Structure 1
Amino acid sequence: MRVGFSTIEFSYFVPVMEDKKRILLIGGPGSGKTTLIQHMESQGLLVHHEISRQVILEAQEKGIDQLFLTDPLAFSNSLLAGRINQFNNAVSGLNFYDRGIPDVPAYHVFTGDPIPDDYLAACNEYIYDMVFLLPPWKEIYQSDNERYETFEQAQTISDILKEFYERFNYKPIVIPKGTIEERYSFLISQIND
């Protein structure tokens, strides 16, 4: 499935240098991001965790089984607010993020929902220093209570994410499939280049 971007206007950015470096990991569901993030934490790196599971669980506690499906805008608004908060809570040094602000409108491309202007404005305002993409990986993919997409949908989401980030002038670096140690070493080597 190919999704067009002809109705979306994008702006390009010039990064502002600070003592904080924001490094983002993106990819479709089940690509191994969480496992890599956990390994990164075990190595002492600062990680800002994915918040969508938290948003989903909070909605389920209120009796809403799948907020993403029943009220996508409320789900997206919660995600965007949480990710902006994470961005603003960066500390000096390296900050790693499991998903970023542009993921929110990119998922609207996947669902076909309109993208509010303030989502695109947030993508232009809050800029990450590096973006790494973990590609779809069928052998490790699993669905669960919060991950209800099929593997084929996960592949489509990954393609949309990559194209969406590129439209904002990011150049996602693909992390090759491999052991956790190999993926971690690749990530660190790219940051240190």
Structure 2
Amino acid sequence: MTKLNPVKNLLIGGPSTGKSTVLEALSDRGYWCFPEVSREVTLEARQLGIEHLFLDEPLRFSEMLLKGRIKQFEDAKSINTHQVFIDRGIPDVTAYMDHFGEKYPDEFTKANGNYRYDNVFLFPIWNDIYTQDNERFEDLELARNLQDVLIKTYRDLDYNLIEVPKSRIHERIEFILNTIQKK
């Protein structure tokens, strides 16, 4: 059997833009999907008594995220399928750190260049669907600022961002699937 190197489709955007919802729906349709790592890291920290690991120990949090996202990227290469979908990417780590003015080791920047995604779908900020929850500390203004930093980071890394329209979930999925079929 020939091993495939699946196309890595990345979903990016500020908090509460619909990425995880679309990812779940893609998974329900049988696509291989990697969920957002930060929720897992945040919940793990809470079990250790740290309420907001990113706010309390941003470098530690970001190191854990980077490790988890690199593992997802590597795992995606070994899956025998044509397409995989990933909720947030490696460059998100440096984008957030840059936004908050935090220092990080060179390995973070090197990872942005060493691990490249095939398609990057940008989910725009959408007031109508924005919500906060126990793992999402960002208010809408901060979400907009983070969105701007994400866009800048990915563009500076020479990614072509494909903006996903603000529409119903099934329409967003059809847009993504039609886009990857054309490539």
TM interval, shorter chain, is over 0.9
Residue number in structure 2 paired with 1:114: 103
Query: Scaled by the length of structure 1, what TM-score is found?
Result: 0.89
Q: How does 1:146-161 map to 2 (within 5 A)?
A: 146-161=135-150
**Residues 159-178 of structure 1 aligned to structure 2 (within 5 Å):** 159-178=148-167
Q: Which runs of 5+ in 2 are unaligned?
A: none
Q: Look up the equivalent residue of 2:73 and give its one-letter code.
A: F
Matching of residue 29 in structure 1 with residue 36 in structure 2: no
Which residue of the partner structure matches residue 128 of structure 2? 139
1:20, distance to aligned residue in structure 2 (A): 2.0
Matched to 2:180, the amino acid is I
User: 1:175 corresponds to which letter in structure 2?
Assistant: V
Alignment-mate amino acid for residue 118 of structure 1? E
Secondary structure of residue in 2 paired with 1:102: helix
- Is 1:105 matched with 2:128? no
1:19 is displaced (CA, Å) by 2.7
How large is the Cα RMSD of the aligned pairs?
Answer: 0.9
Output the CA distance in 1 between the equivalents of 2:150 and 2:139. Answer: 16
What amino acid is aligned across from residue 66 of structure 2 in structure 1? L
SS in 2 for 1:96: strand
Q: CA deviation at 1:95?
A: 1.2
Pick which of 87-96 and 143-152 moved more. Answer: 87-96
Q: As a proportion of its length, which structure holds more helix?
A: 2
* Off by >4 Å, runs of 4+ in structure 1: none
- 2-side partners of 1:115 and 1:137: how far apart? 30
> Does the CA contact (< 8 Å) of 2:59 and 2:104 recur in 1?
no
Specify the code of the residue in structure 1 equivalent to 2:14: G
Question: 1:47 — aligned with what?
Answer: 33
Return the alpha-carbon distance in structure 2 between the equivalents of residues 162 and 148 of structure 1. Answer: 20
Q: Per-residue displacement from partner, 1:73-121 (whole Å, max 9, x unpaired)?
A: 0000000000000000011321110001000001011111123211010
**Residues 126-165 of structure 1, C-alpha deviations (whole Å, 9 max, x = no match):** 1111100000011111111110101011111111101100
Q: What residue in structure 2 maps to residue 70 of structure 1? A: 56
> Aligned to 1:121, what secondary structure does the other structure show?
helix
Letter in 1 for 2:139: T
> In 2, Cα distance between the equivalents of 1:182 and 1:116?
40
State the TM-score, normalizing by the size of structure 2: 0.94
Q: Percent identity?
A: 44
Q: Distance in 2 between matches of 1:172 and 1:85?
A: 23
Match of 1:80? 66
Task: Could you tell me which runs of 5 or more consecutive residues in structure 1 were left unpaired when the two chains were aligned.
Answer: 1-17
Number of aligned pairs?
A: 176
> Given that residues 37 and 68 in structure 2 are in contact (C-alpha distance below 8 angstroms), is that contact kept between their aligned partners in structure 1?
yes
User: What residue is the counterpart of 2:47 in the other structure?
Assistant: 61
SS in 1 for 2:90: coil
